Chains A and B, each alone.
Chain A
Amino acid sequence: MDYLIIGNCAAGINAVEAIRKKDQKSKITVISDENYPAYCRCLISNYLAGTHQEENLLLREKNFYKDNRMELILNKKVESVKPEDKRIVLSDGKELKYDKLLIATGGSPKFLGVEGEDKYGVFGFRTLNDAKEILKLIPRAKKVLVFGGGLIGLKAGYALKQQGMDVEIIVKSPRVLSQVTDNDSAEMVSRWLMENGIKIRTGLAPKKILGKKEVEGVLLDNEEKMNCQIIIIGKGVRSNMDLVKDSKIQTHWGIITNQYLQTNVENVYAGGDVAETTDLITGEPTINALWTAAAEQGRIAGLNMAGERKKYPGSIAANSIDFFGLPIISLGYVRVKEKGYEEFVRSQPKKYQYKKIVLKGKKLVGAVFVGNIENAGVYLALIRRKVDISGIKDILLEDWFDYSKVSELLEQKEGFRETVSLQGNPIKMA
């Protein structure tokens, strides 16, 4: 059996480990279009901030590839997948055969599509190379403009602020994090960032990037000119799925997968930011492009590739960030727009404390925490397991709420004990 994995990040590495758990002998090959062993992609902002060196970014021990007896092909892009005869074509024309394939190619930053975007000094923020390129410019730059108030943009801005840059975040929407968390908490985070020296301007977008070869400034859509030497684009990502566009593998926003993370073609699986899965809360197809989801998907896809039949329960939007020591966690469905939901909030804006829960009928579907994030995971478990919380609704916002209050509700849910117990074998006594 030849396993082939395209992608060397969260999903790919977890797939390798899962396959090796079940199959010690077969050949595993991992292909990456980057030139590094697997690294912690989320930490490129720490690298950019200067708090982490390159060797601190390694996702696994140095001898991981050797210990797992696998071949790692770096710096090679996969041009196309030919599922009908189980082979892939690399950009240099070389071909590789497989028996089971995992596509975990991730995503690429979306750009603005404005004039001058090709100038030196305009960056996406996705890879270690992106961070290295930005770092090169730091000695001769002063002013950084970040377009986009999502997690990527804010993390890049936060890192550059720690490097002593003058950072200004420019968003089209009325606030930062508008896709990540609800308005009130986003407002709070926004205020916190400004208090810590990051400037934020809303309702504006770039029209043209100015400069000769290098970025010198930007023209905004209100005709205002701003000087800057670095521009970071944080406008979201698109799935890297060009490699399947001429094949029979079905795509939509991403590569469509079933509950076993298989594509419509036998022996071809997908996981991570390129895979479209089902949202646990809405039941709709979605891409929750998150490290956590990618790792879990890779692991389950790997097990299934190695012969198991393990279901992927679906992905859930869940994010945790910390800016200047203020933690923020947002879980599930929190930006309520339609009727049929109940929201309960406890907010102390001056103290940067915020807690909100969102209920639909008897179920918890979302929660936001700013400041005090203890026990956030208990809420996520309630959301994930679709627990009937009508009996404990009143105490959910309390600071003393914790697992002990819901242990019975959670433990009767199918699969919960198996996840946590000693080899799925809880003690039962009379």
Chain B
Amino acid sequence: MKRLFVDIERCLSCRSCEIACAVEHSSSKDLFSSLQEEPRPRSRTKVERDTKLQTFPLQCRHCEEPYCIDACISGAVFKDSETGLVLLDEDKCVGCWMCVMVCPFGVIRPAKEKKIALRCDLCQDEEIPACVTACPTKALFFGELEDFKKRLSTRRKDVKLKNIWIT
């Protein structure tokens, strides 16, 4: 099953992924036109900095046992039985923010103006998620776990790797 992985050592905090995500989830899907949209499109992924000021890209983990599904009062959040992704039926979402309340990663964002929760859908319509395509340093990787491991194993051994995995 293809998943999104982060090779954190390559991340330069350029936030290209955030822009690409917002554009992909806009109505025009075009950077310049989307800036005119009301409400402004927002990213579902973010790049933060940890307490040691190291870069820290954050996205939906598509958890194995998602708190957000238990919490959803409108039956809008569901697990896709084929891909295992945790997705939102935006038509059913009522903006109660229960999922925002329970997500341990804080990656579900309340879009108050639209009254729906914004969450990563790994760009269901695209072959490769927009954030991955946009990443200039290839810190984001979309593929099988084994392929990601293979890529990491080609690194110099003395480089200490701190990996984030995305399920």
With beta carbons under 8 angstroms apart, the residue of A295, A318, A420 that contacts B101 is: A318
Within the complex, the shortest CB–CB distance from A419 to chain B, in Å, comes to: 5
What CA separation (Å) do A321 and B110 show in the bound complex? Answer: 12
Output the least CB separation between A196 and chain B (Å). 15
Chain A residues, Cβ within 8 Å of B112: 325, 327
Interface of A is mostly: helix
Binding site of B, secondary structure by majority: helix, strand, loop or mixed?
A: loop
Chain B residues with CB below 8 A from A320, complex form: 96-98, 100-101
| CB contact list, A86-122 vs B, under 8 A | none
Contacts A421-B64, A429-B152: A407 and B70 contacting too (C-beta < 8 A)?
no
Kindly specify which of A52-60, A226-234, A255-263 makes contact with the partner chain.
A52-60
Closest B residue to A328 by beta carbon equals B97
Q: Is the CB of B105 within 8 A of A377?
A: yes
- CB-based contact B75/A377 at 8 Å: no
Within 8 A of A (CB), among B23-58: 46, 48-51, 56, 58
Bound form: Cα–Cα A291–B161 in Å: 41
| A317-356 with Cβ < 8 A to chain B | 318-322, 325, 327, 329, 331
Q: How far is the CB of B88 from chain A (nearest CB, A)?
A: 15
* Alpha-carbon separation in the docked complex, A253 to B100 (Å): 30
- A407 touches which one: B56, B65, B98 (CB < 8 A)? B56
> Which residue of A321, A373, A400 has the most chain B CB atoms within 10 A of its CB atom?
A373
Docked pose: A377 CA to B65 CA in angstroms: 15
**CB atoms of A373 and B101 under 8 A apart:** yes
- Which B residues touch A378, using CB under 8 A? 103-106
- Residue numbers in A under 8 Å from B71 (CB-CB): 291-292, 295
Do A377 and B102 contact each other (CB < 8 Å), given the known contacts A59-B75, A421-B165, A422-B64?
yes
Contact B157 A430 (CB under 8 A): yes
Q: Considering the chains assembled together, what is the distance between the CA atoms of A420 and B58 in angstroms?
A: 14
**Shortest Cβ gap from A311 to chain B (Å):** 13
On chain A, the residues within 8 Å of B110 by CB distance are 327, 373-374
Chain B residues positioned under 8 Å from A392 (CB to CB): 51
Say whether A427 contacts B104, CB under 8 Å: no
Q: Does A423 lie within 8 Å of B64, measured CB to CB? A: yes
B138 within 8 A of A: no
Taking A320-B98, A320-B101 as known contacts, 11 extra A-B pairs with beta carbons closer than 8 A to each other, sorted by chain A number, are A59-B75, A373-B100, A377-B105, A404-B50, A420-B61, A420-B167, A422-B3, A427-B145, A427-B152, A429-B161, A430-B160
